[in-house]
Structure 1
Amino acid sequence: MTTFGFIGLGAMGRHMARHLVQRGLPVTVFDSNVQAVDELVRIGAARGASARDVGEHAQVVMVCLPTPDIVERVATGEDGVAGASAVKVFVDHSTTGPTVTRRLAAALAQHGIQALDAPLAGGVAGAESGALSVMVSGDASAFATARPAFEAFAGDIAYLGAQPGLGQTLKLVNNMIAGSALVTAAEAVLFGVKAGIPAGTILDVLCRSATARGFAVQTLLADKVLSRKFDFGFRMDLMRKDLRLALGEAEAVGAPMFASAVVKQFFDTAVANGAGSDDMTRVVHQLEKLAGATIEQVQGSDEQR
């Protein structure tokens, strides 16, 4: 049986690793958060002492980490996975961008390690339920080797081809749409609120509208913002990072980014104001302040959700 390793037991990674263990796959885990490792060890995972140690015990090493710098350090830095003897396939579930992915794939190839970029969509809820979407590119044989792990935590697996970075490009496309749709939808709802329609009524109608309903309206605004829970599970600074990556990669291939460049400024401002660790849905606060109105359920009103 193929052995697996998982590095990065954060908001999503801990659930993904849990699904591997529950599927009966042999998994060695590592994270700087010892408590997160302890939780996985209690249900049957093996404890790794370092990133390299994980690679000494696992043929397929999977990582889910917050920034490209950390991914590269874990992969090829001192005490990184590349120096290990067992690892044959390195799978990056982080959002690092295609440029970093191609550089990393070339570096790992020098150590005889095949690289897959396999970024994710679906958020924390998808990771928890095992219903993530995973967008994979890299060698087909490496994909076949890693696929049993993908099947443990993903409801949709898209293999995009052998060229490194295609998965990363599609993930940036996904997050560009998510971030832009959130800002645009919030702006539109606030227009309706300022004109005299309760936010709950607006979103109730939009959630039934064939032309307006969708992720931004139904999941982000109607569920996370209207309730003032703001708990989608994706940090503001990470969305900003992804938009910055997208703009850079788009410029490299000559794709226009007029709208996305404006949207990024909302996340830039939020991070500059100290909200980087906040949930990304709190970006609507900036629009609410400008509008002098909020997207929230009116207490004691007759509006129905």
Structure 2
Amino acid sequence: MARRLAEAGHRVVVCDTRAEAIAEAGHAGIEPAATPEAVATAADIVFLSLPNPGIVRDVVLGPNGVVKGGARIVVDLSTTGPSMASAVAHELAALGIAWVDAPVSGGIAGASGGKLAVMVSGPKDICDEIEPVLAVFGRQFFCGEKAGSAQVAKLGNNMIAAAVILLSAEALAMGVKAGLNPQVMCDIINASSGRNSATQDKFPRSVLTGTFDFGFATGLSYKDVRMCVDEAENLGVPMVAGSLVRQMLAATKARYGAESDFTSMVRIVEEWAGVEIRA
């Protein structure tokens, strides 16, 4: 995403805890910064793309945080849930800094190609102002002015994205055990009413090949689904299937580690079924 901003002609300054990310950014003509405060001193608009709510809060409000610089607008591209978004937005508003939620979906391929879905919530005038910049990332969907609204939409999406991996794994494991070719079964599903993002994309790329490297960590998926179920409970909405997905991700994290790819849920189903779903 930073590279796309630079290629679109924007001056981009970046701070990252990973030295390799800073080095890669430098090759794209992006300027390094030592702290979030330094980014906010150099930029009028600061984008965040971070792993969890606690890190977002620290980067914005902590020592050497974004709030110490002179940025006018903070845009959170992370999936951090509505509660944290509302709390940070409230603190920034008191300082005259605008907060916009803009969680994205579409993975590494969507980010590289500028084809992400960008869910946006925040003050309408600010959202309109940054719309041309967000267009660099992909298609925008305005979810309202209330802080955290876009986060609710993103949590629902991510819960479904994980759920279809689990459901597809169970169906394909059944097919393989019955003697069906899993690639043919994926083709049938994708031409039929069961079509979903797992059988269309994730299984052909990362499961049938046995690589389990789609590009989204099990720990992050578990965090998103956990927040989704928690938010549903806060709103009084039953989330029975979502709770099962959360437990399956918890089992996957325990078995293969938080850094494993979230398609590793399939490996749990394979173990239980005694088959491998391979082309």
After TM superposition, give the deviation of residue 204 of structure 1 in Å.
2.2
Amino acid at match of 1:70: I
1:225 matches 2:207: yes
After TM superposition, give the deviation of residue 115 of structure 1 in Å.
0.3
2:149 alignment partner, one of 153, 161, 166: 166
- Cα distance in 1 for residues equivalent to 2:162 and 2:201: 13
2:277 alignment partner, one of 295, 298, 303: 295
Moved over 3 A (4+): none
SS of equivalent to 1:49: coil
Q: Which residue of 1 aligns with 2:52?
A: 67
Per-residue CA shift, 1:82-103, capped at 9, x if unaligned? 1112x01100011100011000
2:216 alignment partner, one of 234, 244, 249: 234
- Cα distance in 1 for residues equivalent to 2:194 and 2:256: 32
Q: Which residue of 2 aligns with 1:254?
A: 236
Q: Which residue of 1 aligns with 2:109?
A: 125
| Equivalent residues, number | 279
After TM superposition, give the deviation of residue 41 of structure 1 in Å.
2.6
Amino acid at match of 2:119: M
- Cα distance in 1 for residues equivalent to 2:207 and 2:23: 34
Q: Which residue of 1 aligns with 2:130?
A: 146
- Cα distance in 1 for residues equivalent to 2:41 and 2:227: 32
1:271 matches 2:253: yes
- Cα distance in 2 for residues equivalent to 1:113 and 1:30: 20
Contact persistence 2:118–2:137 (CA under 8 A): no
SS of equivalent to 2:118: strand
Amino acid at match of 2:57: E
- Cα distance in 2 for residues equivalent to 1:274 and 1:217: 22
Structure 2 residues without counterparts, runs of 5 or longer: none
- Mean alpha-carbon deviation: is it higher for 25-34 or for 91-100? 25-34
Q: Which residue of 1 aligns with 2:191?
A: 208
After TM superposition, give the deviation of residue 184 of structure 1 in Å.
0.7
Q: Which residue of 2 aligns with 1:112?
A: 96
- Cα distance in 2 for residues equivalent to 1:105 and 1:45: 28
- Cα distance in 2 for residues equivalent to 1:64 and 1:79: 17
TM-score between both structures, scaled by the size of structure 1: 0.89
After TM superposition, give the deviation of residue 33 of structure 1 in Å.
1.6
Amino acid at match of 1:287: V
Contact persistence 2:164–2:196 (CA under 8 A): no
1:88 matches 2:72: yes
SS of equivalent to 1:273: helix
Contact persistence 2:107–2:116 (CA under 8 A): yes
Per-residue CA shift, 1:183-234, capped at 9, x if unaligned? 011101111112221222211222222x012212111123321121222110
What RMSD over aligned residues (CA atoms) do the two structures have, in Å? 1.2
1:23 matches 2:8: yes
Identity of aligned residues (%): 37
Structure 1 residues without counterparts, runs of 5 or longer: 1-15, 298-305
- Cα distance in 1 for residues equivalent to 2:95 and 2:68: 8
- Cα distance in 2 for residues equivalent to 1:31 and 1:185: 36
After TM superposition, give the deviation of residue 179 of structure 1 in Å.
0.7
- Cα distance in 2 for residues equivalent to 1:34 and 1:227: 31
After TM superposition, give the deviation of residue 130 of structure 1 in Å.
1.3
Q: Which residue of 2 aligns with 1:245?
A: 227
Per-residue CA shift, 1:119-158, capped at 9, x if unaligned? 011001111111111000001122123222211121x111
SS of equivalent to 2:51: coil
SS of equivalent to 1:138: coil
SS of equivalent to 1:116: strand
- Cα distance in 1 for residues equivalent to 2:177 and 2:109: 32
Amino acid at match of 2:106: G
- Cα distance in 2 for residues equivalent to 1:43 and 1:189: 42
Amino acid at match of 1:296: R
